[in-house]
Amino acid sequence: MNPRANLIFITSLLLGTTITISSNHWIMAWAGLEINTLAILPLISKSHHPRAIEAATKYFLTQAAASALVLFSSMTNAWHTGQWDITQLTHPTSCLILTSAISMKLGLVP
């Protein structure tokens, strides 16, 4: 892989992590997680081996499902409480959905 491309992907990983950690709004946290997902995919599949491509595809599908759950959890919480702040996660259903989404994002064993 080109060293410049590698530098861009690693910088994108750091940017996405910084955005996610420093956000107070659910949409910004989601955007940071998506930047991380899109930056790690080329790094996973940089060797053009079929198993690397398969791993990247599985990673993408799992992360896309978890991202959809994060958005669904935040919308459910905003619907019940009227707040989009991360600190105002008080509805139990939203909390359960977010916990499962974060577990999928972290790759915890089911």
Using DSSP's 3-state secondary structure scheme, residue 108 falls into coil
Predicted model pTM: 0.84
Distance CA 1, CA 17 (A): 23
pLDDT tier at 110, thresholds 50, 70, 90 = low
Q: For the segment 71-107, what is each residue's pLDDT rounded down to a tens digit?
A: 999 999 999 988 888 888 888 999 999 999 999 999 8
101 exposure class (CB count in 10 Å sphere: 0-12, 13-18, 19+): buried
Q: For the segment 36-81, what is each residue's pLDDT rounded down to a tens digit?
A: 999 999 988 888 888 989 999 999 999 999 999 999 999 999 999 8
> Is the model's pLDDT at 109 over the cut of 70?
no
